[in-house]
C-alpha cells in the first residue's frame, strides 16, 4: 500500500503555478507534515491526493489505497451526541458489535486523552477536545489514507499543543497520513516533512 506522486504540479487557469515538480512516495506508518507559505497549495494538494481534483501536470497513483478520510480545520460533530458516540459510529458502521465498538472507542479516547469527556456532548467540548475527537474518530474509521487540514489553525497555543501531542500518536501501519500545517510544532510532531515552498522555487526556475 502506498501513494506515488510523480512530477506533480498545479495551477488555476493561467495563474502562476502553486507548486511544480513534486515527487514523493507516501507509505503507511508515517505521518507527513505538508508545509509551505500561504498560497503554496497545501489544501489543493490534499484535494488532489484525495482524488477530488486533477492536477494540471504529473500523476498520483493510489496503490491498494481506496478509502480516504479527512479531518478539517474546524471540528464538525453532532452537537448532542457524546464524544464516545462519535468514535463508536464508524466502528458500528463497519460491523462491530456494540460492546466491541465501545471497548475500542474507549481505548482510542484514552489514547487521545479524552477519557474524562467520553460521556460529554460534543457541544460541551473545548476546541482542542473537539479536534482531538475528530482525530480519534478518523482513526476509528481506519482509512487507508488520512488527510488532516490545518488542525491547529483556529486554536490558541496551549490547545494547539494538546492537538500536536495527539498528532504525534497518529502513526498507524494501516494508514498513510498527511497533515497540512503552517505550525512548526505540528510539523515537528510528524515523522516526515514535505515542503511545498521548495517546489515554488522550481516553478520560478521553470518559468524563466
Residues 45 and 135 in one domain: no
- Is pLDDT above 70 for 9? yes
pTM to 2 decimals? 0.88
β partners of residue 19: 10
Give pLDDT tens digits for 11-32: 999 999 999 999 999 999 999 9
Q: How many domains does the chain have?
A: 2
Residues 99 and 161 in one domain: no
Give yes or no for a contact between 201 and 168, defined as CB atoms under 8 angstroms apart.
no
Residues 163 and 195 in one domain: yes
Name the residue among 37, 6, 23 with its Cα closest to residue 196. Answer: 37
Residues 32 and 135 in one domain: no
Give pLDDT tens digits for 56-110: 999 999 999 999 999 988 888 999 999 999 999 999 999 999 999 999 999 999 9
Q: Which of 114, 141, 168 is the last residue of a domain?
A: 141
Please give the Cα distance from 145 to 26 (Å, whole number): 10
pLDDT computed for residue 154 by the predictor: 79
Q: Which of 141, 157, 184 is the last residue of a domain?
A: 141
Q: What is the CATH number of the domain that holds 60?
A: 3.40.50.300
β partners of residue 195: 35
Q: Which of 141, 158, 180 is the last residue of a domain?
A: 141
Exposure string for 63-86, b = 16+ CB within 10 A, e = fewer: eebeebbbbebebebeeeebbbbb
Residues 169 and 194 in one domain: yes
Residues 51 and 110 in one domain: no
The larger pLDDT score, comparing residue 205 to residue 72, is at 72
Residue 130 belongs to domain spanning: 79-141
Residues 206 and 162 in one domain: yes
Kindly state whether residue 73 falls inside one of the protein's structural domains.
no
Amino acid at each position: 500500500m502506498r501513494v506515488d506522486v510523480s512530477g506533480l504540479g498545479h495551477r488555476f487557469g493561467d495563474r502562476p503555478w502553486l507548486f511544480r515538480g513534486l515527487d514523493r512516495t507516501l507509505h503507511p506508518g508515517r505521518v507527513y507534515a505538508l508545509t509551505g507559505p500561504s498560497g503554496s497549495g497545501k489544501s489543493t494538494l490534499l484535494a488532489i491526493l484525495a482524488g477530488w481534483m486533477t492536477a494540471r501536470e504529473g500523476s498520483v497513483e493510489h496503490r491498494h489505497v481506496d478509502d480516504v478520510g479527512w479531518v478539517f480545520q474546524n471540528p464538525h460533530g453532532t452537537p448532542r451526541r457524546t464524544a464516545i458516540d462519535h468514535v463508536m459510529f464508524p466502528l458500528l458502521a463497519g460491523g462491530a458489535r456494540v460492546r466491541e465498538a465501545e471497548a475500542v472507542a474507549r481505548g482510542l479516547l484514552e489514547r487521545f486523552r479524552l477519557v474524562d469527556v467520553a460521556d460529554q456532548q460534543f457541544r460541551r467540548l473545548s476546541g482542542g477536545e473537539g479536534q482531538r475527537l475528530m482525530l480519534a474518530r478518523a482513526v476509528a474509521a481506519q482509512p487507508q489514507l488520512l488527510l488532516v487540514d490545518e488542525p491547529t489553525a483556529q486554536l490558541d497555543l496551549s490547545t494547539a499543543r494538546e492537538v500536536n501531542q495527539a498528532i504525534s500518536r497518529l502513526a498507524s501501519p494501516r494508514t498513510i497520513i498527511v497533515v497540512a500545517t503552517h505550525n512548526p510544532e505540528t510539523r515537528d510532531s510528524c515523522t516526515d516533512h514535505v515542503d511545498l515552498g521548495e517546489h515554488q522555487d522550481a516553478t520560478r526556475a521553470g518559468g524563466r
